[in-house]
Amino acid sequence: MPSDAAALRARILELSSAYAKAAWPEGAAFRPGIDPVPVSGKVADGEELAALLDAAMDFGLTAGRFARQFEREFAAYIGTRHALLVNSGSSANLLAVSALTSERLGDRRLRPGDEVLTVAAGFPTTVNPILQNGLVPVFADIDLPTYNIAVGGLEQAISERTRAIVLAHTLGNPFDLAEIRRLADKYGLWLVEDCCDAVGSLYNGRRVGTFGDLATFSFYPAHHLTMGEGGAVLTSNPLLRKIVESLRDWGRDCWCEPGRDNTCGRRWDWTLGDLPSGYDHKYTYSHIGYNLKATDLQAAIGVAQLRKLPGFVQARRDNFAYLREALSPYEDRLVLPEPTAGSEPSWFGFPITLRGASSGSRRELLAELDRLRIGTRLLFGGNLLRQPAYKNVPHRVHGELTNADRVMNDTFWIGVFPGLTEPMLEFAARSVAGFLERGAAR
């Protein structure tokens, strides 16, 4: 790079930090009932802006040096051999499940009609790839107060057609990985961990995302770290890594990075399928794939966010602990969340379930919190089988979905993300408590 261009580049990056400080000032006092208490959001500053501009000035536009750096560093953080960057957590789930249908897996590949064990209470895109691949979800219930799959009697849900387990760590709380891993090993089932809400969560001292055959992550602005839009599939299995990469990159057999040719040194020497000998490997396809790559602009933001991730995780744990203590006097009227035994969650939110009619209706409480500008969310889709989109899908139900229905009617969650201050958390807890006390006085 010419010296004058390098100097201009350095000046632009320096100015970006000054711009961020001027455009996004900090320190304004929180005004209860006037300023919002968001349920989630991004936490970023001039470092992310400088990284974004640095990538933009490369003008590569597609995946490049920042994507490679993020994949390497994120895999190291989680503790897997491979990370593949994609354009969303939903795409990550699609790729993970689709990879298990690859013919390259031989007799272990999933085929249409095979069953996949999951839960009814969750986010749609954990379940959708099961249906999109012609597989049959087996819906199990969840436990309160962990909001994860109920493992008692779960072994009875496994039939001769069950071939995989796909589960999310609900709101960052790890599911019972010891029992789920035991079942997967005993019956030869694939395990996909949906970690989209759980970056940094620990189970028995080990990060989630390292227990399954595949793990998925989301980098949407609401999540633990953000790229705007983005996600990743992680694995330590080299064959699964190759399959996921193929599916992500149009289904091609070639593994060259964008803009590069003949990485293998045999571009014109392959004989695959019924193609003529020496057909260009760059245009040889081994899977029915997609284009689900992310850009270097997104990856650059992710690299900057990764440096802050330990602080983000600790802030989420601290904020959760604050709310847990503040609301503990009301446990006779609220089911408060508990971490799964042996886990240390990196919480995505603080779930609350109302106990009985004396608590007042959830609808009334959420309307009150909305009036006070305190953000809330339901536990995603509730019981998905009650949703219009899933009314007639092929499925099987294990046992009764009692708690899935309960969270659909009585559960919501409030935020714990690092952008929340103690005055915001105090106001949120006080507002919930005030509603309960007024209800008890009636």
Four-residue CA torsion sign, 356, 358, 359, 365: positive
Q: Which of 82, 223, 224, 287 is catalytic?
A: 223
Q: Which residue has the tokens 């807890």?
A: 429
Q: How far is the C-alpha of 318 from the C-alpha of 425, rounded, in Å?
A: 11
- Best CA proximity match to 379, nearest among 128, 131, 124, 203: 124
223 is catalytic: yes
Structure tokens that stand for 402 in this block: 């009692």
For residues 99 and 196, what is the distance between their CA atoms, to the nearest angstrom?
18
Q: Which residues are catalytic?
A: 223
